[in-house]
Amino acid sequence: MQIMSSNSREITLPSAEMDASRMPGYWVMARLGKRVLRPGGLDLTRAMLERLQISKMDDVIEFAPGLGQTAQLVLKQHPASYTAVESDADTAAHVRQCLGEDHAARRVLVEQAQETTLPNQCASVVYSEAILTTQPQTSQRKIVGEAFRLLKPGGRYGIHELAIQIDGDDPSRIQQISKQIADATHHSVFTMKSFYWRQLLMEAGFDVIQQMTTPMRLLEPRQIIQDEGWLGASRFMLRLLSHSAERRRVMQMRKIFRQLRSNLCGICLIATKPTVA
């Protein structure tokens, strides 16, 4: 299936030929035309970028760029360079389409975020959205450690993830919530409470300087309109009505998200790499 990008070019989605019943939830939504797939919505993405203060002086690295929507926002700031690190070749090809014409300062690498071939201290900004949530804790630590390695002293690191909100610290309840989301989305989920996201960054050596949270309302009508605009939301709803298999998947995800609405939020953390070891 093809959708129109924000610059009105047709782009081919990864997993386009996969059956909707087996497809990861984020690609089901993308197939229907939903472009914003982050847990805190477009507003939290914009808040993250605002606080990262990307400028023409920055060398930027993004882990797991997804549909490339955030990349396009970053490129409007004209950074000195932009590098996307994506493990899936089809997704990487999709991001290249989104980025447009070949540009020496823009590149997409097919590599694992846990261990890239990029040199030490080659970036002033590293960010990622909704990648850590899908990785077990060992991989989470490796990804955050890789961000630390790639950043120059004083560099900024931003993450936008899904967080769990529950009273107390009940590991079994956290695992139960993660499993419910994983079953609905057909994708592994390893999310945590806000405190542990902060701890993850601090254990890698980062200084966490800001934290923001917002309700997780990804599939609520008001949030869809807010993220996609009226035209995008209308397109999404029309496709939802005309594609029964995808509609069943979306309704299943929405049902679980609604059941867990008091236990889920989008979280953004901004951290810096110390200038002195």
What span, in angstroms and rounded, lies between the C-alpha atoms of 55 and 74?
Answer: 9
Q: Is residue 2 part of a domain?
A: no
What tens digit of pLDDT does each residue of 31-43 get?
A: 898 989 999 999 9
Question: Residue 73 contacts by C-beta under 8 Å, 6 or more apart in sequence?
Answer: 45, 46, 49
- Domain with 77 in it: 19-272
Structural domains counted in the chain:
1
Q: Is residue 180 part of a domain?
A: yes
Calculate helix-pair angle for 221-242, 41-52, nearest 10 degrees.
130
pTM of structure: 0.90
From residue 245, how far is each of 78, 126, 183, 185 by CA, in Å? Answer: 40, 37, 16, 14
Q: Is residue 1 part of a domain?
A: no
**Does the pLDDT of residue 188 top 60, yes or no?**
yes
What span, in angstroms and rounded, lies between the C-alpha atoms of 64 and 75?
Answer: 16
**Does the pLDDT of residue 138 top 60, yes or no?**
yes
What tens digit of pLDDT does each residue of 53-76 get?
A: 999 999 999 999 988 889 999 999
Residue 219 maps to which CATH number? 3.40.50.150
